[in-house]
Structure 1
Amino acid sequence: MATAFDSLDDYYALPRIEGLALSPDGTRAVLTVATLNKDKTAYERSLWQVPVEGEGMPVRLTRSAKGESGAAFTADGDVLFISARPDSEGDGEDDPQAQLWLLPAGGGEARPVTRLAAGVSDVVTAEASDRIVIGSSLLPASESIEDDARRRADRKKKKISAILHESYPVRHWDHDLGPAAPAFHALDLGGLADTIEVLAAEPATDGDSGSEEDAEIDTTPYPASLPRPRALVRGRQADAAGSALSPDGRTFVVSLQTPQGRDARYRLVAIDTDSGAVTELFDERDTYFEAPAISHDGATIAYVKSAMATPSGPADQELWVAGIDGSNPRRLAEGWDRWPTGIHFDQDDTALIVTADQDGRGPIFRVPVDGGAVEQLTDDDFTYTDVDVRPSGELVALRTNWMTPPHAVRIARDGTATLLTTPVALPEVPAAMTEVEAAAADGARVRGWLLLPEGASAETPAPFLLWIHGGPLSSWNAWSWRWNPQLAVARGYAVLLPDPALSTGYGLEFIARGWNAWGAAPYTDLLSITDAVVSRPDIDQTRTAAMGGSFGGYMANWVAGHTDRFRGIVTHASLWALDQFSGTTDHAGYWKQIFTPEAMLENSPHRFVEDFVTPMLVIHGDRDYRVPIGESLRLWAELNEHYAADDGSSPHRFLYYPDENHWVLAPQHAKLWYETVFAFLDERVRGAEFARPGLLG
């Protein structure tokens, strides 16, 4: 059966649903859809409206070259979104910042809500108010919105890129932090003025700032036709781990980062959006308070509380509720060692609706606020995200697994899911998916998903690919456009997606089996389930390979130093020398929390380079700050130190991306990633001649 996964060009051309927002009345959902642009080097995003019930057709709401994302509904049913599309009343700059836009529920053109020099990064809406909170940023010395715009323009004019840091960290994932710091601003949509009189009254500007040096620095007042943002909190402490706005828009509850030496904890505060007054709700040393949600009646908050991890073991993610003023805090679902995400209050505020990893899936759960037992609402092979509650009590969400990319569904309380009308058809896939498990060396159950190609049988067994997930606190339970095993299945490989020790969804004890000992149970778990799967008659145990990225890359390196059972190993963005990595990663404090110095050395793959037998393909992007390029540079140097011939040739290869990050996201680069990986695997596993991708020169 021919599918889009047979061709990398066809695969990257598949449209993708990336987000869902539900209208206040629960009758319509807005989907964010990404499609490949004309030159195939990026994705453009647009918003589509679909009915939650009935047979109505999808309606495209937005269309611009810059694209749209971050959809949210106002209390009145208008659609807010973030876009860098040109503003006809703006200054006409060639590369404008992304601003907040509003599309009226009653129809008409979208119009800008902000015109901030820093743009807008996110928006939080209120259930019964036109007050919203937006995320933006401000330079440290800025005294006003106008002053911030002037200072930014001054740096741009003088081509200044230097940043003075006064705290840790200095970068995050793939971008430098500073000089601006996050800020949250309150904004009243009722302040939108769209009249001829207001526009005519806007002050004209000739760009004259009063001095020759600053003649080209814009000092235009913030537009009177737009509601003026009011800063609530700013600075590095405004790095947030979740936020929520009360239904009346007057209380903003946010999880704020608080320095703790080189590390940071998160505290929970409530901010009065009228006065800006801050009330401390919860703050404890070595503790995170995160992911707040507010009840429909505005009286109760829910949040996740967890202690900082230590080398002695992982910390639980506890679900708590309290009064919105922090009174009467109490833990829910004690003894339920799943990690809740996507927290919402049920329509009657008697329970929380949450998602959590569980046994290779991601079900929806109902957690009563009176302390009753947790109820699992969905019981299928899917993982649910973007869950929201309709006034009727039904749920709307995106769901996904390894056979289906994210798609929108309506879910009854008995767990029955109904597909919503969609602008994106689900693609045919080449794999058959089956669940597999094995007994680990210590007797623990280790499970995973096995994806098999069409025609795999005892007569024609398929070559085998072990694909190790990253994290490591993660699970192979949801579709990934970046790490997609369907592409390998389309090329004839059977792909095993296992959840070894450290994986989420199996309880705290299962995670603890690999804690402070990455090279122990996680490794033996992988071998145990590999042994079980390759013993199947439809798998060719003589033609096997292993691969992984990030923590999966760490494990690929560990595998290479401890067994010769695989013919080829692909290691992407991998940890190699843990003592080096722990001080150069973007958030070094965490790695000092979870490892003892002795375990960091004992579990470092670089110690076993002289035991390598299997040829490796090393891949890394230079803009990866989570696992810095130095890891692969050192790995590559040490591979060549031990295995390069006198003429410099080596059985290993290194695919290097100067301008990619931890994931390799640009479509043309990701396509080249797969071309190189499959050429390497075919050479090592199938004995084919290495087919160097043409664009590699």
Structure 2
Amino acid sequence: MTPDDATPAPFHDLEQYIALPRLSGLVLAPDGSRLVTSVATLDPARTGYVTALWEVDPEGHRPARRLTRSGKGEQSPSFTAGGDLLFTSARPDPQVAADDDTPAALWLLPAGGGEARVVASRTAGVSAPRAAAGAPVVLVSSGVLPSATDADHDDELRAERKKKKVSAILHTGYPVRYWDHDLGPADPHLFLGALPGVGGVQLHGEIPGVAAIPEEVDPAITLRDLTPDAGTALREQSATLSDDGTTVVATWIVAESGGGHRTVLMAIDTATGERRVLVDDGESSFGSPRIAPDGSRVAFVRESRSTGERAPAVTLGVVDLLGGPTHQLAGGWDRWPSSITWLPDSSGLLLTADDDGRGPIFHLALGEGDSAGTDGSDVTRVTSDDAVFTDVQISPDGSRVYALRVSYLEPPVPVVVDLAAALATGAPVPATALPGPTTSPTLPGVLTEVETTAADGSRVRAFLALPHGAGPETPAPLLLWIHGGPLNSWNAWSWRWNPWLLVAQGYAVLLPDPALSTGYGQEFIQRGWGAWGQAPYTDLMAITDAAEALPEIDETRTAAMGGSFGGYMANWVAGHTDRFKAIVTHASLWALDQFGPTTDSATYWEREMTPEMALANSPHLFVENIVTPMLVVHGDKDYRVPIGEGLRLWYELLAKSGLPADANGETVHRFLYYPDENHWVLSPQNAIVWYEVVEAFLADHVLGESHTLPKTLG
């Protein structure tokens, strides 16, 4: 299939593809009158993305309008109780001399119109603003150096490090890095500030010790450190602020012996800074706290501690905000909640969860008693769309839900759901798209599904993206794409791993959910736990067999691809079958005994990766069996799967595989190395190179064609 020369589809032109606007996030004003989302677009040099804020009409009548514009972009929108819009940005403050190293400050865009202005800043920058829905206060996060005694001292220490170009970090605990960045020397603290009294909306009350700033006063916010002795407890954690602004509930790291840790829920009084442990069972980790609008209870997610034999279980719980026993909710519901949103009257919850290749919105009714909502039968599905829903927002009267809807048929779009109708009828309803700031691109193929039954009787399903025209007379070559995680599901649009780019090249792309995938129940996860090379592998081969049996597929031209855990599986596949013509392995685990201690979260992985598990499931032990050409891709800034995995894999392919380098050092394998990329390869131009190299490698070995490599490789 070839595109029209005059109007090439974006999936046939990588420069057009990376230029597609990318929408994310959604927040609703407390009075329900305004919706705001974020849109990332290419910068003028086409080497990065800049994010702007856009307003979407909740009624669906008016087109979306752009609210912000700057070279640095704007992030983390949050509405105040008075309707003003807060956000963070590193763009220059017009009242301060410009500085290229300007940290992100807190900005306020008045509800009644006018220019946005800086209302709070710190030399360390601020992030993640959360304004109370019914009080004039805002919570932000900001870094503080460990020996700093106050804000001025923190500034002095930072200036000294910068002047002397000192980058050293002295750690006293674990972990020391996360995904793609180093932890420390500063650690995040939570800061509280009183908001300017603008917006024209009557606020619900005052917070003891936090006086609202009158409109006529200079709108600068004084930030007060709520957690001066937090240490490392708030690293990579989250917090929620009660509607009345009196209480913060934050996830809080508790260190354990051997470098391990668990996460508890900590309640913090905003007037005094006093804190108390709200939820901790001494073993599990707790997250996603959400305080009920009436301030009575806190809903949360509990993840049980895994072992080498037992997979973690993710369940829903609730506790009184004043403390007391916790109660499990929806105990009979065999899904993992991924987000929690309270109904405005605190009578129930809206949940999202992976479910059979989708991610619907669900409703859980709660009552007055502790036993309310404990039965999984109380969970009912709200949305009927074959899609995933994120960023759930509820109208003040509880009749409508706003969210982002995303699937393999379209990238995220803002939608509205008639919640009142769904609850009245007890039947799921479709979402209605709102006029958003982006349009969905035309796809170069069609999406279908494939199912099969594994040897143990388990149902295994997959999405299959087919190019237009694929059929018995013109069957398409097949690409098996294996998802990462491993606790994950192929169910939503990805800008980085987008199957439609390969479909545009004529391939059929198979997106399976093997054992360990979420959305199919706890037992489906348990099937692959601690045995990655068993059920996950045999599930993948079974679903590939089912796809190859279709008349639209050419079973003689196949390849396998995967990233992260999917890269691990690609490596395992390479050492256990020769059925594929080529294999692409991105950011992949190779030697499990090496990976476990060097990843950024070794204490988590060692629970599953016992010495016995690593010995039985490590791909590097089967390198001699590899007779398939492999393309290895790895970024040096990848801390989740450290570069040592890619380096060792590359060397051992050339030295020990069934297709070693010849006497002249030549090899059919290839290594695409990124010195400055992380786990995902995020730079637009590097992403183009990624796809061009992958396409050329597959064309060579699967199609028997020669593709020109990108000039930017030199």
TM-score of the superposition, structure 1-length normalised? 0.94
Residues 64-79 of structure 1: pairs in structure 2 closer than 5 A: 64-79=70-85
Contact residue 113 and residue 192 of structure 1 kept, 8 A: no
Residues 544-563 of structure 1: pairs in structure 2 closer than 5 A: 544-563=558-577
1:184 is aligned to 2:216: no
3-state SS, counterpart of residue 636 of structure 1: helix
3-state SS, counterpart of residue 427 of structure 1: coil
2: CA distance, partners of 1:43 / 1:396: 26
1:333 is aligned to 2:338: no
Shift of 1:27: 2.3
1:408 is aligned to 2:414: yes
Identify the residue that residue 376 of structure 1 maps to in structure 2. Answer: 381
1:108 is aligned to 2:114: yes
Identify the residue that residue 136 of structure 1 maps to in structure 2. Answer: 142
1:247 is aligned to 2:243: yes
Residues 118-157 of structure 1: pairs in structure 2 closer than 5 A: 118-157=124-163
Identify the residue that residue 202 of structure 2 maps to in structure 1. Answer: none
Contact residue 549 and residue 574 of structure 1 kept, 8 A: yes
Identify the residue that residue 166 of structure 1 maps to in structure 2. Answer: 172
Query: What runs of 5+ residues in structure 2 fail to find an aligned partner?
Result: 197-210, 367-371, 423-428
1:646 is aligned to 2:641: no
2: CA distance, partners of 1:196 / 1:361: 50
3-state SS, counterpart of residue 405 of structure 1: strand
1: CA distance, partners of 2:272 / 2:354: 40
Deviations 1:311-345 (A, max 9, x none): 11112111111111122421110021211122111
2: CA distance, partners of 1:54 / 1:376: 24
1:309 corresponds, among 299, 306, 310, to 306
Deviations 1:275-316 (A, max 9, x none): 000011122222111110011111111011222111111121
Contact residue 240 and residue 256 of structure 1 kept, 8 A: no
Identify the residue that residue 274 of structure 1 maps to in structure 2. Answer: 271
2:225 corresponds, among 190, 215, 230, to 230
1:659 corresponds, among 662, 676, 684, to 676
Shift of 1:196: 9.7
2: CA distance, partners of 1:366 / 1:316: 20
**Which of 509-518 and 384-393 deviates more?**
384-393
**TM-aligned CA distance change 1:489 to 1:143, over 3 Å:** same
1:256 corresponds, among 252, 255, 271, to 252
Shift of 1:193: 6.7
Shift of 1:19: 1.2
Identify the residue that residue 393 of structure 2 maps to in structure 1. Answer: 388
Identify the residue that residue 430 of structure 1 maps to in structure 2. Answer: 444
Shift of 1:534: 0.6
3-state SS, counterpart of residue 236 of structure 1: coil
Contact residue 384 and residue 430 of structure 2 kept, 8 A: no
**Which of 499-508 and 179-188 deviates more?**
179-188
Shift of 1:596: 2.2
Identify the residue that residue 537 of structure 1 maps to in structure 2. Answer: 551
Shift of 1:59: 1.5
Q: Report the RMSD for the aligned CA atoms in angstroms.
A: 1.5
Contact residue 447 and residue 466 of structure 2 kept, 8 A: yes
2: CA distance, partners of 1:386 / 1:392: 18
Residues 359-370 of structure 1: pairs in structure 2 closer than 5 A: 359-369=356-366, 370=372
3-state SS, counterpart of residue 256 of structure 1: strand
Contact residue 568 and residue 619 of structure 2 kept, 8 A: yes
2: CA distance, partners of 1:442 / 1:589: 32
Contact residue 478 and residue 553 of structure 2 kept, 8 A: yes
1: CA distance, partners of 2:80 / 2:256: 37
Identify the residue that residue 221 of structure 1 maps to in structure 2. Answer: none
Contact residue 288 and residue 308 of structure 1 kept, 8 A: yes
**Which of 282-291 and 540-549 deviates more?**
282-291
Letter in 2 for 1:285: G
Contact residue 448 and residue 498 of structure 1 kept, 8 A: yes
1: CA distance, partners of 2:178 / 2:235: 11
2: CA distance, partners of 1:367 / 1:242: 23
1: CA distance, partners of 2:164 / 2:214: 36
**TM-aligned CA distance change 1:197 to 1:55, over 3 Å:** closer
Letter in 2 for 1:492: G
1: CA distance, partners of 2:237 / 2:493: 24
Contact residue 403 and residue 416 of structure 2 kept, 8 A: yes
**Which of 588-597 and 40-49 deviates more?**
588-597
3-state SS, counterpart of residue 233 of structure 2: helix
Identify the residue that residue 354 of structure 1 maps to in structure 2. Answer: 351
Contact residue 240 and residue 257 of structure 1 kept, 8 A: no
Identify the residue that residue 48 of structure 1 maps to in structure 2. Answer: 54
Shift of 1:240: 5.1
Contact residue 617 and residue 654 of structure 1 kept, 8 A: yes
2: CA distance, partners of 1:593 / 1:501: 19
Identify the residue that residue 210 of structure 1 maps to in structure 2. Answer: none
1: CA distance, partners of 2:216 / 2:319: 48
Identify the residue that residue 499 of structure 1 maps to in structure 2. Answer: 513
1:298 is aligned to 2:300: no
Shift of 1:91: 4.7
2: CA distance, partners of 1:157 / 1:68: 29
2: CA distance, partners of 1:571 / 1:536: 26
Deviations 1:634-658 (A, max 9, x none): 0111111130100000010000000
Letter in 2 for 1:96: T
2:627 corresponds, among 613, 625, 639, to 613
1: CA distance, partners of 2:445 / 2:310: 37
Contact residue 475 and residue 505 of structure 1 kept, 8 A: yes
1: CA distance, partners of 2:359 / 2:673: 34
2: CA distance, partners of 1:5 / 1:399: 21
**Which of 662-671 and 116-125 deviates more?**
116-125
Identify the residue that residue 671 of structure 1 maps to in structure 2. Answer: 688
Shift of 1:347: 2.1
1:457 is aligned to 2:484: no
Contact residue 186 and residue 232 of structure 1 kept, 8 A: no
3-state SS, counterpart of residue 276 of structure 1: coil
Contact residue 543 and residue 685 of structure 1 kept, 8 A: yes
2: CA distance, partners of 1:392 / 1:49: 21
Deviations 1:180-201 (A, max 9, x none): 0111111111478799986xxx
1:484 corresponds, among 494, 498, 502, to 498
3-state SS, counterpart of residue 182 of structure 1: strand
Letter in 1 for 2:584: V
Letter in 2 for 1:291: S
Contact residue 550 and residue 627 of structure 1 kept, 8 A: yes
Shift of 1:549: 0.3
Identify the residue that residue 599 of structure 1 maps to in structure 2. Answer: 613
Letter in 1 for 2:262: R
Query: What runs of 5+ residues in structure 1 fail to find an aligned partner?
Result: 199-223
1: CA distance, partners of 2:599 / 2:338: 26
Identify the residue that residue 35 of structure 1 maps to in structure 2. Answer: 41
Shift of 1:170: 0.9
2: CA distance, partners of 1:257 / 1:677: 40
Letter in 2 for 1:436: V
Contact residue 187 and residue 230 of structure 1 kept, 8 A: no
TM-score of the superposition, structure 2-length normalised? 0.92
> Once the two structures are aligned, what percentage of the paired residues are identical?
53
Letter in 2 for 1:404: E
2: CA distance, partners of 1:291 / 1:139: 26
